[in-house]
Structure formats: structure tokens, C-alpha cells
Amino acid sequence: MDVIYEHCFLQLPKDVRDKVKPPLHPVVGFTGETTWPLGRININITLGDDHRSRTVQLTFVVVRSQSKYNVILGRTALQELSAIPSTPAPIKHEGVVVINHAFPEKVIKIGNTLSKETNSAPCELLSNNADVFSWQESDMTGVPREVAEHRLNANPSMTPVRQKKRGMAPERSAFLRNEV
């Protein structure tokens, strides 16, 4: 399901908002609560920039709920857009810990959001149990290759598109544009 939050919906032009249709069914939220949406609306969405973009028509369910996001794109929409979602990783790290000294290049990075006391417990746990990790293919005896080897199910003819910084907050999509 594709969701557009009311605060974002109200920013659309009036002629677009006037095309809202009655909802077909209730929506169950992330915490299990059931509510009726305000309606549903078809909107053409363009993802990308001028050189690499794709436009599809999506049916959004308009919901009244507090959110720092404008929309949530469901699996079907992501598939139609040939998009692969990813989450940005924290950039700053407190330190790097070697778990198995036989493989010094295999490290874990400790984030800066935990105290040093809290960080020490998982590092100790991992170091004490380093023997349970597969550090190389030969450590995975009896595991068929098709189980151990994974691939990203993406269209090989599509080239990755890196999001450009456009002065917008990270939770705001710089690539969602309304095209009616």
C-alpha cells in the first residue's frame, strides 16, 4: 500500500486534492490500530532527476496521522519504479574492533551512540564466540553454494542512481514530484 500523509496531501494543488475518492477499506497501522483513511488518490510520481527518471501513476491512501515522512511507498510501487531502498549508515564511528586476529581485515565498527561501557559487552561477546563465524568459504563445510551465495534481484540493465543533495532534510524525498 502507498500512503500519503494528510499534511503532505494538503500541500497538493486544490485541483489535485479535489480528485480524492472515497476509501475502499480500513488501514491497519504499524502498531495494530485500525483506522479509515480520508480517501485515495491517483498521482503521477517521478523518481530520479532530469537524466535518469521514471514516472508511474500510484494510488495513495490518504491518512491522518503524525509522521515526519510525507509518503510511504509500498513494495509494488518500489517494484514499478525499479527502486531498491537503502538506509543510510552512520558515518561517525567511535572505533574499530578486530574480532578474530587471524583475520585482522575483518572488523566491526562501533557507533557513537552507545557509551563505552555498553559497547564493551557486544565486543566481548563476539570475541569470545569468534569460532562460530565463517571467516572464509572453507569454514562453511556442508553448506551448499546456492544457500551461502546470495545475489541482489535487480534488473542488470538498470544503472544505480545516487540521490543528490538538494538542501532538503533526509526524511524529505528530493525526488518525489507531483505531475498531474
| Cell 501513476, residue located | 57
CA distance linking residue 160 with residue 32, whole number of Å: 35
Find how far residue 86's CA is from the centre of its chain: 4
Closest by CA position to 22, among listed 50, 73, 58, 61? 61
pTM of the model as a whole: 0.49
pLDDT of residue 116: 72
% of the chain exceeding 90 in pLDDT:
26
| Weakest mean pLDDT among 2-16, 76-90, 153-167 | 153-167
pLDDT of residue 39: 95
CA distance linking residue 176 with residue 56, whole number of Å: 11
Each domain of the chain, given as residue ranges in start order, spans 2-84+162-179, 93-148
pLDDT tens column, 31-86: 788 889 999 999 998 888 778 888 899 999 999 988 889 999 999 898 888 888 87
pLDDT of residue 173: 42
Which helix (H) or strand (E) segment is 55 a member of?
Answer: strand 53-63
Out of 10-19, 126-135, 163-172, give the one with best mean pLDDT: 10-19
